[in-house]
Amino acid sequence: MATEHQIELMESAARAQEAGDELRGERMIINMGPQHPSTHGVLRLVLELDGEEIINVWPDIGFLHRGDEKLAENMTWTQFIPYTDRLDYLAPLANNVAYAYAVEKLLGLEVPPRCQYIRVVCAELARISSHLLGIGTFGMDVGAITVFLYTFKEREKIYDLCECLCGARFTTSYTRIGGLANDMPPEFLPMLRKFLAELPATIAEVDTLLTRNKIFLDRTRDIGVLTKEQAVDFGITGPILRATGIEWDLRKAHPYGGYEKFDFDVPVGSVGDCYDRYLCRMEEMRQSIRIIQQAIDNMPGGAWNAPEAKIVLPEKKAVLTKMEELIHHFINVTEGLNAPSGEVYFSAENPKGELGFYIVSRGGGTPHRLKIRAPSFVNLQALPVMAKGHMISDLVAILASLDFVMGECDR
Amino acid sequence: MADNTVNLTIDDKAVVAPKGMNLIEAAKLVGIEIPHYCYHPKLCIAGNCRMCLVDVGMPKLGADRKPEIGSDGKMVVMFGPKLVIGCNTTVADGMVVLTKSPKVVKAREGVMEFLLINHPLDCPICDQAGECRLQEFSVDYGKAESRFVEEKVHKPKKTALNAKITLDDERCILCSRCIRFMRDVAGQDCLGFIQRGSHSTLTCYLGNEPKTNYDLNIVDICPVGALTSNDFRFQQRVWFLKQTKSICPNCATGCNTVIWSREDVVYRQTPRDNNDVNQCWMCDYGRINYKFINDPHRLTTPSVKSATLGQRVNLTWPEAIRQVVDKLRAAKRDSLAVIGSARATTEELYLLKKFSPSFAAYIPRVGTGDNFLLNTDRNPNAAGAMLTGFSSDYSVIADGIADGKIKTLIVLGEDAIVPELLAKLELLIVLDILPGKTTEAAHYILPGVTFAEKSGTFINAKNRIQRLNPAIPPLVGTKPEHLILSALLAELGGKRYATIQEVFADMTRDVPALAGLNLSKIGDSGVEVKS
Amino acid sequence: MTVPVELERHIDEIVTHYPPDKTRAATLWLCHLLQEYFGFLGDEQVLWISNKLGLQPINVWEVVTFYPMFTTKPHGKFHVKVCRTLSCELCGCKNIVAHLRKKLGVGLDENTTDGLFTISTVECLALCGTGPVMMINDETFENLTTEKVDAIIDRIRTTGRLDAQPLPMPLAAHPLEKRVLLSNITKPGYTGSLADYEREGGYTALRKALAMKPDEIVAEVKNSEIRGRGGAGFPCGLKWSFLAKGTGKPVYLVCNADESEPGTFKDRQLISYDPHLLIEGILISCHAVGAKVAYIYIRGEMPGGAKILQKAIEEARAKGYVGNGVEIYVHRGAGAYICGEETGLIESLEGKRAYPRIKPPFPAVVGLFGCPTVVNNVETLANIPHIINKGSTWFKTMGVSGSTGTRLVCVSGPVKRPGYYEFEMGKLTLRQLIFDVCGGLKDGRTLKGVIPGGSSMPVMKADQIDVPLDFESLRKAGTMAGSGGIIVLDDSVDIVGATLNVAQFYAHESCGQCTPCREGTLWMEKMLHRIERGEGRPLDVEMLYEVADNIDGKTICPLGEAAAWPVKAFVTKYREEFEKHGG
């Protein structure tokens, strides 16, 4: 909550003061959220308003805090994977992938090419899914309700793809340490190809509806501007950072998981306003389609799990009929795989920004400390700077353009 | 180099080991594990599992009988042509031991593979899972894949070795620990191997089953699930169990134990290492005697025998304390006696004694002992009772009740005075855990806790004070006795003790033998006190 | 169940052969005697023995189930035991077994309905040169054919009894032989009696030795450089010098007459034809090492040999050689190859399962009954009188450096003249032995390989047999002289089958104490079975080798090596045959 602040006299307030006592306005402190259709999740904002104008905004987070990082200390590496689904729950596959790579970095384990490519497909699908939602809700928040329906129709197809791939629409828990839960089923690739064929049309439709729409432009241009310096100071990552004009994408800057083999562009904005952020996300979706297409066209065959029999669970048939496999399955599941002691940090370019895992291991099957660098947590810091001086209705647009997820922010 | 130690190197770590120590123990000194099955520090060496094979070399001596130095400036070490077993190799000056060389790694993989080819796929139903050395060493030292495609050797499964133990011969890895224990420690040579080769099978002769009071120790020392305790069979997976260090309350030996519990239920007890008390063994009688902790008949609420209603009425704790205190205030001090149990902790007895300096006795308890662990004195804390001023002769109190001199009696955990005498009392206050004749006769019942639910100390027959730790919280409705007693004492004008540490601190002042001690100093192994 | 008075008296006498606080050692004898009388060892017999010897029933039960000669259920009146090990299989023992089964109408280890016969297969009976062989109860039948078998069985059926079989005639010497140990056996009219032995100069050495100091005898034996003839080839004099002195405990000498290495049948000849040579050797050795008691541990399948030795000991006692400060006792084994290993033998002598001991401590320090003990092979001890008589320098004129003296070798398999021979060590190659002495292979056959020292030793291919028969040469060639049992394989031999036969032997004989041998030997047998049936896979050859390698060097006793080396050698040198057998 706000403590004593210096109250700056804004222009309107000055005018009001000039106008005399009749128009002398009081600063209002009102509460927005945690339950609010436009706060994108359980976010509470304390607004200090002068009429319509935002003097200050204090985000009050923590309503979705579930103690993930502490929970991680009491469970095995593999048991934590479902918890990663629930971080950025709009792109669960991307979180699964990032966590798997982080633990594999600790173990010094390389996954085979097929696994890498499948994970790339997953991460990009997650990006598309997340941006579709971000743009859809953005449109809806500023009044373009139809856009929401169009994007969600495509998202539904992504959920169907997830269900085909790993059995769950939403909480995928698809990756495993050293590989994947299962290989792509034979129905998956045809389904994916069909989806990729249909998606550009929807993106084009959304583009037509929004990009040159006067109302949309008025609502978003020069609203919520974030400068490059501010972005770097706050540690912003993801589309928000790139919208300010800084070309920084972890898939290009520190390639991981085979991304160096793919041909794609990184959209960069110039102004850093809501409109730029919208444009970045739209273009990222188009680039993701490119990446997925390359991945499925060049999908390697072979194993989809690392050949590390002490890390990866043996196949079920062997577990039920062979002694060593039964024992290894048993110990792997009950005590966790034996990680070496050490510390690693691994981060991935998630739809919302840089999702990082800082893992401290003291050896054994459970982490000693698992710190999650959540992009939404960092990005949300910039909200006060971006919102100051704007009106409440602009705040809605700014929040939508930040596209954060409280699950990730609060953990 | 002192006269009784030896310098050697294990995996490039310098080790100073006592003369005569074997390599497994020497490696433990520097935190290196040499895996083993048949070796046990308290049993004779068998050397049959071959899991502890290590590479041992001695410095090459030149013609001058001094170690040769090689071209790299280091001592030239001659390694033996074969690996040797660590359990049967004694440390020697200048010895170089490798426990992780490729030869050793391969040997361990080989032995693990051999142990597993005929092993049944019982993990999902085997009690040993979670504390099974076959599992642990397979993951740590063995290969992850099986290449055995033949038919496994089949042997008798799930046979009753005796009423307490189930034997599964397919799981047995023939380490012979149980045979050596029964023969050399328990004193009944009844187990052996029959048949030959891969068909060797552990058994006992029909009619000559293990019949000692120490049989269940073979379940502890069996590295796999071949010997399992029927008492614990299928009760709980061990990784769910919390381990609490405690002391067995069944006789004056005071074997060091571990109580295994989960969510307020005790599932089993096992012995704990203490070379001054019980080495690493405990007797079956003490081991099995824990079921009373979770007995459904436990007393769970204070109560008063209502004269008007003619029946027992439950009270809340504050009300019970208040009523008891009122009654005690009215009672004459010199007609107040206390009977403390020598199964109670020293702290409880110390507090109890404050109620009656003149009439305080405990009930001696004698049973058959053996010349190993079971003491004829079946009270765990007779020494504690005596130190805190309790007499072993309770007939004085019984007589006092009979001729009306004693009108008020507080009983802590005993059922010794006959109901006819108890009926003569004006005020009988009983602290106990289970109903009995005394609780039936009691005016006030204040439910206490078992040894598994409290902190406290016992002093054993060799004057060793040892510490109890609570494994589970007091059963709902009960209170640890020291809290009950100190509440009563406080209301009667005495000191209010908030914690057991405070009780102990006062006790060390009033009992000279315990001077200078505290519960931390007693630690896990206990401390010898002067008598 | 009542034990007749006579028998109990005999038993009581046997018990006195052992220290009064070590009566457990009499367990094997008591099992033999009670089984002889009752036909089997059941609950009552076990309890009687354990009572008699102050043991727990499990102690006796462990022993009864360990040794195959003991049975817990009655056999037929005539127990037909056919040898199934390699040399006999090469001579066609499988035919004999099949024929017997058909003739008697029973399966293996089943009793005929009239209760007369049981057929079993047993492991090597140390009669390899005259295979196929069988024993019926205590009698031996060699050079079997189906016709002979018919005759034997029919005779038993008609007469209702088993005739005693005489010893075969000793083999005449081949011109290339140098007979020292066997010098007496073909002398006309030689019966092996003490009178005959002394007529030929026997017991002179004993008298000479008794006049020498023990250290002097040890020095002579050391100087002769004689190496053990049992299989390990350890210098005998050196072994004697390891005996712990000044312990205050009695010293024991044990003669290892447990000849069980497949392909070996030489000690049998010494025992059967010239027992006093061995007795004299034992007496001299006892004097050398300060032993007052010597045990001859003779394998249970040589009951005839045990009787011959017992008689010879009594003859020597009558002459005052035995019983005059040195006692010699015969101790019968009960069918375990592992008793040929010195500490396994000692455990068996002590009345337990023959589990070899971990070393250190060595038998020279802690051996039989915890006392310093030396264990020597029959042939080694048979050399001692000769060394004392003619001196160590004379001894060294025979053989080659590093392998002095003569050696008894046994040849079995498809050669024209299998049998036992005595040569100076190193003066003859394997090739010369097979082709010049034994007449080469049967007509139309070519050589495939030779096992040079008992089945434990790595096989030599047909082009590797130009190696002299001495310890060092054989070792350099990648094999060993071993027990001197030479098994010849010709091109009719299926190597996979031969390997399987050998693997079955070791799996059956493994005592089961230590993990690699116990599990690994049976695993190799199962794998080879599968390969032989045609269900082998390409990776099985590598796996066989690796499993054998995992046993080699990791076990308590050399049975691990003995089981591993043949498999490793066969699989390496005849890989194509294994691959062809498989899928």
Per domain, the residue ranges of chain A are: 68-410
- Under an 8 Å CB criterion, which residues of B touch A? 113, 116-117, 119, 121, 123-124, 129-130, 134-136, 138-140, 142-146, 148, 239
- Closest CB to B116: pick one of A323, A334, A335: A323
Interchain contact C281–B (C-beta under 8 A) = no
CA of A359 to nearest chain B CA: how many angstroms apart?
Answer: 23
Say if strands C78-83 and B96-98 run parallel, antiparallel, or are unpaired.
unpaired
Q: Which CATH superfamily groups domain C78-159?
A: Glutaredoxin (3.40.30.10)
Chain B residues with CB under 8 Å of C507 CB are 197-198
Q: What is the CATH number of domain C194-396?
A: 3.40.50.11540
Residue B434, chain C, CB below 8 Å: the answer is no
Candidates B129, B134, B146; nearest CB to A322: B146
Q: Which residues of B touch C47 (CB under 8 A)?
A: none
Closest CA to A377 of A238, A276, A265: A238
Report CB contact under 8 Å: B197, C512.
Answer: yes
Q: Which residues of chain B make contact with C46, given a CB cutoff of 8 A? A: 205
Q: Long-range contacts of range A193-199, CB-CB < 8 Å, 24 or more positions apart?
A: A193/A296, A195/A154, A195/A157, A195/A158, A195/A161, A196/A289, A196/A292, A196/A293, A198/A154, A198/A157, A199/A128, A199/A154, A199/A285, A199/A289
Is B138 in contact with A328 (Cβ distance < 8 A)? yes
Looking from the CA of C336 toward its CB, the CA atoms found within 13 Å total: 34
| Residue B50 at interface with chain C, using a CB cutoff of 8 Å | yes
pTM of the model: 0.91
Percent of chain C with pLDDT over 70: 100
Read off the pLDDT band of A33 (50, 70, 90).
Answer: confident
What are the angstrom distances between the C-alpha of B147 and each of A331, C122, C541, C548? 20, 31, 13, 14
Q: Which chains pack against A, by 3+ Cβ pairs within 8 A?
A: B
* Pairwise CA distance, residues A273 & B227, whole Å: 72
Helix boundaries (H) for B146-228: 177-184, 217-221
Cβ–Cβ contact A325 with B under 8 A: yes
Burial of B44: CB neighbours in 10 Å, binned 0-12, 13-18, 19+: exposed
Give residue-wise pLDDT tens across range A372-393: 999 999 999 999 999 998 998 8
Q: What does the longest C-alpha to C-alpha distance in chain B come to?
A: 103
**Are the Cβ atoms of B123 and A322 closer than 8 angstroms?**
no
Residues in chain A within 8 Å Cβ distance of B31: none
Which residue in this structure is represented by tokens 């640890």?
A: B480
Q: Is C508 at the interface with chain B, CB within 8 A?
A: yes
Question: Mutation test of the interface with chain A: which of B108, B123, B136, choosing the one with the most A Cβ atoms within 10 A?
Answer: B123
Task: Flag if C59 and B192 touch (Cβ within 8 Å).
Answer: yes
Any chain C CB within 8 A of the CB of B145?
A: no
With 80 as the cut, is the pLDDT of residue A10 above it?
no
**pLDDT of res. A52:** 86
Task: Give the rounded percent of residues in chain C with a pLDDT score beyond 90.
Answer: 95
Looking at beta carbons, which residues of chain B come within 8 Å of A332? Answer: 139
Inter-chain touch B144–A314, beta carbons under 8 Å: yes
Asked if pLDDT for residue A1 goes beyond 50, the answer is no
- The angle that helices C146-159 and C93-104 make with each other, rounded to 10 degrees, is 40
C-beta atoms of A323 and B146 within 8 A:
yes
Find chains touching chain C: ≥3 CB pairs under 8 Å: B
With a cut of 50, say whether residue C236 has pLDDT above it. yes
Q: B110 to chain C: which residues are within 8 Å by CB? A: 516, 549-551, 554
Q: Which helix (H) or strand (E) holds A366?
A: none
Does B449 reach chain C within 8 Å, measured CB to CB?
no
pLDDT band at A346 (very low <50, low <70, confident <90, very high): very high
Residue C70 at interface with chain B, using a CB cutoff of 8 Å = no
pLDDT tens digits for range C291-323: 999 999 999 999 999 999 999 999 999 999 999
pLDDT at B74: 82
Q: Which residue in this structure is represented by tokens 């108890």?
A: B422
Say yes or no for a CB contact (<8 Å) between B129 and A322.
no
Please provide the average confidence, as pLDDT, over all residues in chain C: 94
Query: A171 falls in which pLDDT band (50, 70, 90)?
Result: very high
B202 touches C: beta carbon within 8 Å: no
Residue with structure tokens 């990784």? Answer: B239
Q: What is the pLDDT of residue A23?
A: 52
The pLDDT of residue A300 is above 50: yes
Q: What is the pLDDT of residues A68-100, one digit of tens each?
A: 999 999 999 999 999 999 999 999 999 999 999
Q: A309 vs B136: CB contact, 8 Å cut-off?
A: no
Amino acid at residue number C478: G
Integer angstrom CA distances of residue B491 from B29, B318, B339, B407, C90: 54, 11, 21, 21, 99
A322 Cβ under 8 Å from any chain B Cβ: yes
Please work out, in degrees rounded to the nearest 5, the angle formed at the alpha carbon of residue A212 by the alpha carbons of A209 and A215.
Answer: 80
Per-residue H/E/C for C436-482? HHCCCECCCCCEEEEECCCCCCCCEEHHHCCCECCHHHHHHCCCCCC
Q: B147: which chain C residues are within 8 Å (Cβ-Cβ)? A: 539, 543
Classify domain C495-580 by CATH number. Answer: 1.20.1440.230
Neighboring chain A residues of B113 at a CB cutoff of 8 Å: 324
Residue A171 to chain B, least CA–CA distance (Å): 27
Nearest CA in chain B to A327: B135
Nearest CA in chain A to B117: A323
- Asked if A318 has any chain B CB less than 8 Å from its own CB, the reply is yes
Return the pLDDT at B298. 95
| Neighboring chain A residues of B239 at a CB cutoff of 8 Å | 334-335
Q: What CATH class does B122-130+149-294 carry?
A: alpha beta
pLDDT tens for A230-247 read 999 999 999 999 999 999
Query: Residues spanned by CATH 1.20.1440.230 within chain C?
Result: 495-580
Q: For C555, name the nearest residue in chain B, comparing CA atoms only.
A: B50
Q: For chain B, give every domain's residue range.
A: 2-110, 122-130+149-294, 303-528
Q: Which tens digit of pLDDT belongs to each residue from C74-87?
A: 999 999 999 999 99
Contact B205 C360 (CB under 8 A): no
What value does the mean pLDDT take over residues A6-13? 62
Q: What is the pLDDT of residue A22?
A: 57
Are the C-beta atoms of residues C221 and C209 closer than 8 Å to each other?
Answer: no
Residue in B130, B138, B148 closest to A334 by CB: B130
For chain C, residues classed under CATH 1.10.10 are: 5-66
Q: Taking CB atoms and an 8 Å limit, are A324 and B239 in contact across chains?
A: no
Tens digit of each residue's pLDDT (9 = 90 or more) over B32-47: 999 999 999 999 999 9
Q: What is the mean pLDDT of residues C460-472?
A: 93
CATH T-level topology, domain A68-410: Cytochrome-c3 Hydrogenase; chain B (1.10.645)
The structural architecture, per CATH, of the domain B303-528 is: 3-Layer(aba) Sandwich (3.40)
Select the residue of C62, C514, C554 nearest B107 (Cβ to Cβ).
C554
CATH number, domain C403-490: 3.10.20.600
- Chain B interface includes A328 (CB < 8 A): yes
pLDDT at A6: 53
Residue with token string 């206050």? B429
pLDDT exceeds cutoff 80 at B373: yes
Compare all CA atoms of chain C with the CA of B149 and give the residue at the minimum distance: C527
Helix (H) or strand (E) holding C263: none
Which chain B positions have a beta carbon within 8 Å of C72's beta carbon?
Answer: none
CATH code for the part of the protein at B2-110: 3.10.20.740
Cα separation, C365 vs A164, in Å, equals: 74
Q: Do B123 and A326 touch (CB under 8 A)?
A: yes
Quick one: average pLDDT of B179-198? 96
* CB-based contact, A309 to chain B, within 8 Å: yes
Chains A–B, number of C-beta pairs less than 8 Å apart: 58
* pLDDT band of B358, cuts 50, 70, 90: confident
CB atoms within 10 A of CB A302: 8
- How many angstroms away from the CA of C530 is the closest CA of chain B? 8
Mean pLDDT in chain B?
93
Task: Output C42-47 pairs: Cβ under 8 A, ≥24 positions apart.
Answer: C42/C72, C42/C73, C43/B206, C44/C1, C45/C1, C46/B205
DSSP C435: I
B418 pLDDT higher than 50: yes
CB A206 within 8 A of CB A139: yes
The complex's ipTM? Answer: 0.94
- What integer pLDDT is reported at residue B311 of this predicted model? 87
Question: What is the length of chain B?
Answer: 531
pLDDT score of A39: 78
Name the C residues in 312-351 with CB < 8 Å from any B CB: 336
Show residues of chain C in contact with B109, CB under 8 Å. 550
3 state DSSP class of B411: strand
Answer whether A331 sits within 8 Å of B136, measured CB to CB: yes
The CATH fold of domain C5-66 = Arc Repressor Mutant, subunit A (1.10.10)
Name the minimum distance, in Å, from the CA of C258 to any CA of chain B.
Answer: 18
